[in-house]
């Protein structure tokens, strides 16, 4: 995979995954503001990392989250404060682990790569433990 510094930023449409139409009432102004903030921080991270990644899971309305195997009932995906990025080669996870100061600067928290094989989970709120890198 090549490094593309000018990769296009992730867009809200990528984050909503079409669910903003079927679950419009659930997508409040607050959630929309959260989604914008999540993408703002994650796009800055990807730019700094020089990596391009697709969203594998963005916003999860309640019914969808309940159907995701292993998804936490209080998942930050419900409130548009978390995103999963495809990361098959693990390079983004590895970059994050090697650049925790950048995560701190951008106020992002990472689910431990051991728990996310093939993807990278980032969120804009600290987990209960407060750890920058956490186990779910």
Binding stretches for Zn ion (CB under 5 A): 84, 121
C-beta of 88: minimal distance to Zn ion in Å? 16
Query: What does each C-alpha distance from 24 to 21, 81, 87, 96, 136 come to in angstroms?
Result: 5, 17, 29, 33, 28
Strand pairing category for 109-111 and 133-134: parallel
Query: Closest CB to Zn ion among 20 and 84?
Result: 84
C-beta of 6: minimal distance to Zn ion in Å? 27
CA–CA gap between residue 1 and residue 52 (Å, rounded)? 9
C-beta of 5: minimal distance to Zn ion in Å? 26
Query: Closest CB to Zn ion among 84 and 93?
Result: 84
CA–CA gap between residue 94 and residue 26 (Å, rounded)? 34
C-beta of 24: minimal distance to Zn ion in Å? 23
Query: Closest CB to Zn ion among 2 and 77?
Result: 77
Q: Which residue is nearest to Zn ion (CB)?
A: 121
């Amino acid at each position: 995979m090549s490094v593309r510094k000018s990769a296009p930023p992730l867009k809200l449409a990528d984050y909503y995954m079409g669910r903003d139409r079927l679950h419009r009432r659930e997508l409040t102004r607050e959630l929309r503001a959260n989604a914008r903030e999540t993408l703002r921080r994650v796009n800055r991270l990807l730019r700094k990392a020089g990596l391009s990644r697709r969203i594998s899971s963005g916003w999860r309305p309640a019914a969808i989250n309940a159907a995701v195997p292993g998804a936490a009932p209080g998942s930050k995906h419900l409130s548009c404060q978390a995103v999963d990025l495809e990361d098959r080669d693990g390079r983004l996870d590895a970059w994050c682990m090697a650049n925790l100061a950048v995560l701190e600067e951008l106020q992002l928290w990472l689910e431990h790569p051991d728990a996310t094989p093939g993807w990278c989970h980032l969120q804009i709120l600290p987990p209960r433990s407060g750890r920058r890198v956490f186990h779910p």
